Amino acid sequence: MINRVVLIGRMTRDVELRYTQSGVAVGSFSLAVNRAFKNNDGEREADFINAVIWRKSAENLANFTGKGAMVAIEGRLQTRNYENNSGQRVYVTEVVVDNFSLLENKAEAEKRRAENESSQHTQQTAVNNTEIDISDDDLPF
């Protein structure tokens, strides 16, 4: 039996890096992968594929990439399920990454990071400049 997945795409967000109780690093992210064809409007659509990566590879991916980075991943497809707080069964399909390759040079990566930081700063400034009209009577405490 064969269960191998190879994808090339752009990261839709920074790697969410966490550690298990035993100290093992685990990172989760999603990859936008363009489809090979265009839709009726002539636009190319993308699939958003969830992925998980473990141990030192997770730390390296989190340290050397970020939102928008072009990467290649290789791994296996895994399906799991769990019961959420509402008692509903939730099914998750994701790629468990064994290997990854960075597909942009250092200059491109630094330019993208600078653009992302500038965009985040602009968004934060807009949020900070928003005035909210709340009286003490509106507060729940």
User: In this predicted model, what pLDDT tens digit does every residue of 68-86 receive, in sequence order?
Assistant: 899 999 999 999 999 999 9
Reported as a pLDDT band with limits 50, 70 and 90, residue 90 is very high
Domain architecture of the chain: domains with CATH? 5-128 (2.40.50.140)
Reported as a pLDDT band with limits 50, 70 and 90, residue 13 is very high
pTM above 0.85, yes or no: no
Reported as a pLDDT band with limits 50, 70 and 90, residue 133 is low
Q: Rounded to whole angstroms, how far apart are CA atoms 118 and 91?
A: 36
Per-residue pLDDT, 114: 74
Q: Rounded to whole angstroms, how far apart are CA atoms 26 and 1?
A: 27
